[in-house]
Chain A
Amino acid sequence: MSKIYDICIVGSGAGAGPIAYELSKAGKTVVILEKGPWIKTEDFTKDEIVSSRRSVYTPNLKDEPQVLEKKNSKGEWIAESNADGGRDFWNGNCVGGSSNFMSGYFHRMKPKDFKLLSTYGEIKGANIVDWPISYEDLEPFYEKVERVVGVSGKVVSHSTLEPRSTKEFPYPPLATNIVSKWIDLACNDLGYLSVDVARSIISKPLNKRNSCVYSNYCGSYGCSSDAKGSSRVALLNDALETGNCTILPYSKVYYLKSNTDNKVEKAFYHDRENNKQEISAKVFVIAAQAIETSRLLLLSKSDNFKNGLANNNGLVGKNLIFSGGGLGSGQFLKQDFSDKDFSALMVGGLFVNRSIQNWYEINDTDFGGKAKGGTVDFLFEHANGIRKAVRQKFDNGRLLYGTELKDKIHSYFTEQRKITFEIFNDWLPTNDCFVSLDKDVEDKWGDKVARIRLGYHEQDIKVGNYLGEKAKLVLEKLGTKNIKLGVSGSAPPNLVAGGCRFGINPQKSVLDKNCRAHDVKNLYITDASFMPTGGSVPYTWTIYANSFRVADKIKEEFN
């Protein structure tokens, strides 16, 4: 008889790592099925072509397309496959998943985020609910992430600071550029509070991991010092050292077979040579990132689950959410600063790490009274050279070339530095944002692909603009020029959650409060799929924390 593992995990990113780490340390046999390759630290380099301009860490869309549904000007939903190119919602397919490529801006959710409905009330057209757990339930695990995955930062007291069980971060804040001080001063003048942003980047060594070397190429790049808190480096390496954890790269799971007792027995996968294989386990954990997790459940139909595994209430794939908000920017022009200041500003590698949370809760009659707001994070434009140069091609829609283009590129690289801000606000869950299976389009293995409807709620735009207008004032105060703001309902592919929301009521949720499927006794989901609402921050700290929480529940089950 073939081996029966204690735990089989699908995916190896942020949602998977804590399960593998905890359960293998607890002596359980763990197997991880990961569809992508195993890229080791030494193979992550600062090659812009590989990291940012071609599909290397993500699949070729010809092989693994997705179908995107968008509203046209008449209000009709139009579906289009991206097999021939276009936007896609793949983020990082390799051992460690997208956590290898994140920038590691880490924020906790705040207590009120767990009670959005009871705090702020209903919003028409949005499926807002309270979470079945509270901030207090998750706090110990946020703290654990700080220690185990490694989070650096400085605690600054402010009106919406989350209650903490420890006074300080275990890793001191990373070094910052002179601009951070300028932001502090600008905010002070405006009556805002600029606060340090925590990062999932260690500022001093931890076991075999080095501290950050300020490579200047962080987001979208794998880390060569192992300072970034990817699941691969921070958790899976330790899990492997127990001898209880096996990682199978190039193993794309396409079906979960459940029995009449409503338990998953086997995961079926395509291996490196495209042969079909199967693995048996006592407990199955899915963490394939929100869209693919829903897709896998929908693909896993059986007699008891005719509409897909754990989907007898039809909620799998529903209430998909992203991070709402947008982006603003301004340019520091050389001519406006002393040589000394401009040189200090141009120093690469150092972080900005400042955010404003003054409007996490909006209380403004002009806005319409009390409402949920969000976060503004400041950062420099990414250092990618090709990207920066390519963006100089146009001047108000006119194509530049020749010396005119070259002069503009040269000036852009040497006579200015762009600072940006990112706005994070809730992407309200609606009936117009969900994952289903496309009826026609299949991937290279013949499995139906995800079809993603990308609707959003107007409130998301309203809040985003409110925050953006405030943040623009900071850029003005800083003396930047060409200030721009873009807030839209365009979904950021890398900040995705929902699709299998957790809750108390089995009729209204897919998972119970411990992220176990209501209907399937040995199936857990530990990526961001469980989140019914997402808070006004990026998700990964919460994904890690929740996965540690669920790991404890699974351990309890075993005991």
Chain B
Amino acid sequence: MKEIKEKSIINSLREPFYFANSKLTRKQFIRGLIVAGLFTQIPISSCSNKENSFVEDGKLNNEKLRLLTSIQEILFPKTKNSPSASDVNADKYLLWILSDENKSTKDKKYIIDGLSWVNQTSIENYDKDYLNLDSNQQNNLVKIISDESWGRDWLSIIITYIIEAVLADPLYEGNIDELGWKWLNHNPGNPRPRKEILYGNIKETLANR
């Protein structure tokens, strides 16, 4: 997994939105996964106008969603002056990412597979599913995972999307009440976007003019 790479050049800040191939699968994990029968549909309303087809395909289930929310909260907890992942709807934001038709199935699968790898690591270490761990154990597990190279890469992607949820325009339905901007005293600039020209809508809006 390559990190989103920075260009060492003149203000070219268009950071490519990509994931590459290197550690996309953890074969040893996938082999050991018990996936049958787990899938149910999750009723979520994507914050874009897109159908959340990937989720509805049944590849992300309720347990995984709860696991995701929990991990996100460990990665980005609440403090006195700052919002937590759940304060900015980071889970919903990630589901929106997973519904992005421009994002490759492989990239989406990587994000979802990571949730299974986390659970597998939990079983290896505690002989329990992640969701049955107490909060100390969950915190420890995240520490263990972050010390492994696959875990570091996967968590890093999850953090990137939490940060997007914290600092993107509130129209993307993260950054509720501009909590992220207020926390960092960040001025996002003007003019602000309108719904019809958000990512997910802009290409269609322009094409229909």
Contacts and interface: CB of A to CB of B under 8 A. Distances in A.
B198 interface: yes
B28 interface: no
B104 interface: yes
B9 A216 contact: no
A492 B167 contact: no
B15 interface: yes
A410 B184 contact: yes
Interface string B183-209: 111111111111001110011011101
A62 B15 contact: no
Given A49-B164, A56-B199, A62-B102, A414 B15 contact: no
Contacts of B12: 91, 219-220, 492-494
A494 B163 CA distance: 27
B20 interface: yes
Interface residues of B, number: 66
A440 B198 CA distance: 35
Interface string B174-185: 000000110111
Contacts of A424: 10
A250 interface: yes
B76 to A, nearest CB: 7
Contacts of A47: 168-169, 192-193, 197-199
A25 interface: no
Contacts of A495: 9-10
Closest 4 CB pairs of A and B: A85-B18, A219-B11, A492-B9, A46-B189
Nearest to A52: B13
23 contacts: A43-B197, A47-B168, A47-B169, A47-B198, A49-B169, A61-B18, A62-B104, A84-B106, A85-B19, A86-B20, A105-B11, A215-B189, A217-B189, A348-B187, A385-B180, A385-B184, A393-B159, A399-B155, A399-B156, A399-B159, A402-B76, A422-B11, A490-B7
A141 interface: no
B188 to A, nearest CB: 6
Interface of B: 2, 4-21, 74-77, 79, 82, 102, 104, 106-107, 142, 146, 152, 155-156, 159-160, 163-164, 166-169, 172, 180-181, 183-194, 197-199, 202-203, 205-207, 209
Interface of A: 37-39, 43, 45-58, 60-62, 84-88, 91, 101, 103, 105, 215-221, 224, 250, 272, 323, 326-327, 348, 377, 379, 382-387, 389-391, 393-394, 399, 401-403, 405-406, 409-410, 413-414, 422, 424, 486, 488, 490, 492-495, 538
B177 to A, nearest CB: 16
A91 B104 CA distance: 21
B4 A406 contact: no
Given A85-B17, A86-B16, A413-B185, 7 more contacts: A54-B102, A56-B203, A103-B10, A215-B189, A348-B187, A405-B75, A413-B186
A50 B198 contact: yes
Nearest to B187: A348
A53 B193 CA distance: 15
A371 to B, nearest CB: 23
Contacts of A386: 163-164, 167-168
Contacts of B205: 43
Contacts of B187: 216, 348, 383
Contacts of B209: 38
A473 B106 CA distance: 46
Contact of B202 (A56, A58, A387, A490): A56
Interface centre among B8, B180, B187 (most CB of A within 10 A): B8
A463 B160 CA distance: 36
B10 A492 contact: yes
A327 B184 contact: no
B84 to A, nearest CB: 9
A174 B167 CA distance: 29
Contacts of A389: 163, 166-167, 184
Given A53-B164, A402-B75, A406-B79, A422 B10 contact: yes
Given A45-B197, A389-B166, A103 B11 contact: yes
A490 B184 CA distance: 33
A391 B13 CA distance: 13
A252 B101 CA distance: 23
Given A85-B19, A387-B13, A405 B159 contact: yes
Interface centre among B11, B75, B76, B203 (most CB of A within 10 A): B11
Contact of A410 (B8, B82, B106): B82
Contact of B181 (A84, A382, A385): A385
A387 B191 contact: no
A399 B152 contact: yes
A50 B184 CA distance: 21
A217 B190 CA distance: 9
A406 B83 CA distance: 10
B16 A85 contact: yes
Contacts of B169: 47-49
B191 A494 contact: no
A125 to B, nearest CB: 23
